Amino acid sequence: MINKLSSEDPNFDAQLNSLTSWDISSNQEINDSVKKIIDDVIQNGDKSVLDYTQKFDSVEASSIAELIISKERLKESFDNLDEEQKKALSIAADRIKSYHQKQSQESWSYTEDDGTVLGQKVIPLVRAGLYVPGGKAAYPSSVLMNAIPAKVAGVEELVMVVPTPNGLVNELVLAAAYVAEIDLVFAIGGAQAVAALAYGTETIPKVDKIVGPGNIYVATAKRQVFGQVGIDMIAGPSEILIICDGKTNPDWIAMDLFSQAEHDEDAQAILLCPDQDFLNQVEQRINKLLPSMDRRDIIRTSLKNRGALILTKDINEAIQISNEIAPEHLELSVVNPENIVDKIKHAGAIFMGKYSSEALGDYCAGTNHVLPTSSTARFSSPLGVYDFTKRSSIIMASKEGANKLGKTASTLAFGEGLQAHALSALYRTDKD
């Protein structure tokens, strides 16, 4: 059911590469379809959005105004939840807010001896767009994870789009939007929603950045509008990699692997361990527990296609392999994980110790669950407050500073053959 590998196998590197490789680029047919949708929205605005909403979601409306989900409707969804759900959403929101407040950056400056002031101004985005999957594939936790950092950053307006196929509305998603204090919600989705956020229409405001997950059409649309607006990332399938020393309950490890495998058939779940007996125990627990899982067919396919139990020489080799993979979620299910965490070079989120299940990070630990996938943890970070701010450099030269710096600048400018640059700087210097 699940692939079993050993680092001592002569073909291990090739086997691992085959297992972990993932092409996040879309095919040409999808690219062309998405481009047409985007072009239509640019040309025809609200009308195109309405037409595509009817075509893809079977939702008819005579105007975009009919597709606005009011704040009163969001509150109604929250009020209608049972008390346990209300409490869970509120606790998660409070913890996410508290964590992300620690990420806030302040503007700064310093004054040089000659009076010249240099610094950096941190400025929140004016407007951000949040894409939220709708219908049955709905994730209220993602609403909180994407919206709250934006609010902490000081974004003036947060616009959410969520499809409602056949009029199906996910009440938990709307309740999460209420808790996250989202300003404006439209019942639209797909590439047309991304295009509307990127370029604006008569009714839908243009945003500065689009965040949030979606299907291949949404991901392709985000890629195509990048440059017109900012985007968070192009996400691939969910991933978990567990490094275990064999001293964690094998039931726990099996279920941790399931927690990512159940996302979809392309999700990846990998266990690295130097203890063959423990790997055998986990395999046995996988076989025993799987029939009881609601999403067992998806889990089975995921584990068969992209899952693995990997025997390593020792924990250090497991760390080395993990750094090569650069996983989205990394569990260090070992005794004293603090002794090895500094060796981790690439991971979206690191869960330390046997009690730190990845699921805690997905929902309520407070850290963000929007993480780099497909090895992009080599150069990318989790979504955070910093994704909703930008920075402007501050330069205020004094007379003395302009005199000193102007001569340096002019020398370099003349060297580059840019006379106007040089003279612009020299005009503000003392004439010898």
Which domains are delineated in the chain? 3-24+236-365 (3.40.50.1980), 28-231 (3.40.50.1980), 397-426 (no CATH)
Q: Look-up: residue for tokens 């196929």?
A: 165
Q: Which amino acid is at 374?
A: S
pLDDT, tens digit (0-9, with 9 covering 90-100), for 365-386: 999 999 999 999 999 999 999 9
Measure the CA–CA gap between 243 and 258, rounded to whole angstroms. 15
Q: Where are the alpha helices (DSSP H) in 210-275?
A: 216-225, 250-261
Q: What pLDDT does residue 135 have?
A: 65
What's the whole-number mean pLDDT along residues 279-302?
Answer: 97
What's the whole-number mean pLDDT along residues 285-297?
Answer: 97
Q: Taking a C-beta distance cutoff of 8 angstroms, is the pair 189, 55 a contact? A: no
User: What helix, strand, coil percent values describe the chain, rounded to 5?
Assistant: 50, 15, 35
Classify residue 138 by burial, with Cβ atoms within 10 Å: 0-12, 13-18, 19+. Answer: buried
Q: For residue 201, give the nearest of 46, 37, 51, 38 by alpha carbon.
A: 46
Residue 25 predicted with pLDDT over 70: no
Spell 404-425 as b/e; 16+ CB within 10 A means b. Answer: bbbeebbeebeeeeeeeebeeb
What's the whole-number average pLDDT of the chain?
Answer: 95
Residue 432 predicted with pLDDT over 60: no
Q: What pLDDT does residue 368 have?
A: 97
Q: Which residues contact residue 108 at a Cβ distance below 8 angstroms, ignoring those fewer than 6 apart?
A: 119, 120
Q: What pLDDT does residue 137 have?
A: 64
- Which residues have a catalytic role annotated? 328-329
Measure the CA–CA gap between 326 and 416, rounded to whole angstroms. 42
Strands (E), 250-373: 268-273, 308-311, 329-333, 349-352
pLDDT, tens digit (0-9, with 9 covering 90-100), for 187-227: 999 999 999 999 999 999 999 999 998 888 999 999 999 99
The pair phi, psi for residue 333, each rounded to 5°, is -90, 70
What's the whole-number mean pLDDT along residues 59-68?
Answer: 96
Measure the CA–CA gap between 265 and 297, rounded to whole angstroms. 9
Residue 400 predicted with pLDDT over 70: yes
State if pTM tops 0.75: yes
Using alpha carbons only, what angle is made at residue 153 by residues 331 and 186, rounded to the nearest 5 degrees?
90
Q: What pLDDT does residue 136 have?
A: 61
pLDDT, tens digit (0-9, with 9 covering 90-100), for 230-273: 999 988 899 999 999 999 999 999 999 999 999 999 999 999 99
pLDDT, tens digit (0-9, with 9 covering 90-100), for 122-134: 999 999 999 998 8
| DSSP per position, 134-161 | -TTS--HHHHHHHHHHHHHHT-SEEEEE
